[in-house]
């Protein structure tokens, strides 16, 4: 009887080994890498700009590089860049990091810094931590860690956060992601008394020019443009005036916004102008 049992057990064990030997191996497939889709050109306006691919390895941006889904771009502390998508432009201030989502519902993400977006021809979709911004028009978004400040200059946008969805119209802004519930508030009035103003001031090449505005004792953000609307200088400053060097011949326009401690900006000033001449 015992021999019979041992024989049955041995047969069962042999059958088990045979089944394992004949079974097909289980193949665990590696998930496919997201398809790289080129979506934007990046113009380096000033300083060093870096690009990171999906592996998150950073390298200096090459003039031939284009920004694709799953990638990021960042500006150094003295650098600015213009990201051009078919339906909007994104002006990156110094010390700003921007990401592009993987294919699907294409969106951008602001990791840090200041981003100015113009999306008159399409819907802007921007994530900033726990905050999502959607809409059409012209706005500035500043992100400092978990807090995101949204200032709307043109158009209308929605700001979605864990506290709910807030609608912002032209001339309003909100601070989201902080301890307080976000609310729509009127932006500060624009700076005035720009000098040089609408009538261009002439400065000889190689000399310095002083840009001033009122109020002079508030933190501000200054931008200088060429006549073809290309940004040449994008800077946060602590107040008026700002001294700039006249190094290239041409006519330039400039404007300024006031900057609140929370990150909101005032409505933009009117444009001033100056011309750099030989003599």
Mean pLDDT of 185-204: 96
22-52 confidence digits (pLDDT tens) = 555 555 565 555 567 888 899 999 999 999 9
249-275 confidence digits (pLDDT tens) = 999 999 999 999 999 999 999 999 999
- Same fold flag, 38-186 and 192-277: no
pLDDT value, residue 27 = 57
pLDDT value, residue 20 = 44
Mean pLDDT of 221-235: 94
Nearest C-alpha neighbor of 144 from the set 120, 113, 109: 113
pLDDT value, residue 17 = 47
Average pLDDT taken over every residue of the chain: 87
Decide if pLDDT at 127 tops 70: yes
Nearest C-alpha neighbor of 197 from the set 261, 83, 274: 274
Name the percent of the chain lying above pLDDT 90: 68
Decide if pLDDT at 126 tops 80: yes
pLDDT band at residue 4 under the 50/70/90 scheme: very low
Which class is 192-277 in CATH?
mainly beta
Could you name the CATH architecture of 38-186? Sandwich (2.60)
Decide if pLDDT at 10 tops 60: no
Q: How is the chain split into domains, by residue range?
A: 38-186, 192-277
pLDDT value, residue 38 = 86
pLDDT band at residue 18 under the 50/70/90 scheme: low
pLDDT value, residue 254 = 98
76-94 confidence digits (pLDDT tens) = 999 999 999 888 899 999 9
Mean pLDDT of 117-133: 84
Mean pLDDT of 157-176: 95
d(CA 87, CA 38): 14
Strand 108-118, strand 124-128: pairing: parallel
pLDDT value, residue 256 = 98
pLDDT band at residue 245 under the 50/70/90 scheme: very high
Q: List 132's β-bridge partners, or say none.
A: 127, 160
DSSP secondary structure, the chain, as one string: -HHHHHHHHHHHHHHHHHHHHHSPPPP-PPPPPPPP-EEEEEEEEES-EEEE-TT--EEEPPTT-EEETT-EEEE-TT-EEEEEETTEEEEEPSS-EEEEPPSSS--EEEEEEEEEEE-TTS-EEEEETTEEEEEEEEEEEEEETTEEEEEEEEEEEEEEETTEEEEE-TTEEEEESSSSPP--EEPPPPPEEEES-SSPEEEETTSEEEEEEESTTS-EEEEEEETTS-EEEEEEESSS-EEEE--S-EEEEEEEEEB-TTS-BPPPPPPEEEEEE--
Decide if pLDDT at 9 tops 90: no
Decide if pLDDT at 229 tops 70: yes
pLDDT higher for 11 or 127?
127
Mean pLDDT of 174-179: 88
């Amino acid at each position: 009887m015992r021999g019979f049992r041992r024989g049955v057990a041995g047969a069962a064990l042999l059958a088990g080994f045979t089944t394992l030997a004949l079974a097909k191996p289980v193949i665990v497939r590696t998930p496919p890498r997201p398809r790289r889709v080129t979506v934007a050109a990046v113009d380096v306006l000033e300083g060093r700009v870096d690009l990171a691919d999906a592996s998150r390895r950073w390298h200096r941006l090459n003039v031939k590089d284009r920004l694709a889904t799953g990638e990021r771009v960042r500006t150094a502390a003295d650098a600015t860049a213009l990201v051009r998508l078919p339906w909007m432009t994104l002006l990156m201030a110094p010390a700003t990091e921007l990401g592009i989502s993987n294919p699907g519902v294409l969106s951008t993400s602001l990791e840090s810094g200041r981003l100015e977006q113009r999306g008159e021809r399409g819907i802007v979709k921007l994530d900033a931590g726990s905050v999502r911004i959607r809409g059409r028009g012209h706005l500035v978004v500043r992100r400092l860690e978990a807090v995101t400040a949204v200032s709307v200059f043109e158009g209308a946008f929605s700001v979605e956060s864990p506290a709910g969805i807030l609608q912002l119209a032209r001339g309003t802004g909100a601070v989201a992601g902080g301890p307080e519930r976000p609310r729509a508030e009127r932006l500060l009035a624009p700076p005035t008394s720009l000098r040089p103003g609408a009538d261009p001031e002439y400065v000889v090449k190689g000399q310095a020019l002083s840009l001033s505005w009122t109020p002079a004792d508030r933190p501000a953000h200054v931008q200088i443009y060429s006549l073809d609307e290309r940004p040449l200088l994008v800077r946060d400053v602590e107040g008026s005036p700002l001294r700039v060097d006249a190094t290239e011949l041409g006519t330039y326009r400039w404007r300024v916004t006031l900057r609140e401690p929370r990150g909101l900006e005032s409505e933009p000033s009117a444009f001033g102008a100056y011309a750099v001449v030989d003599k």
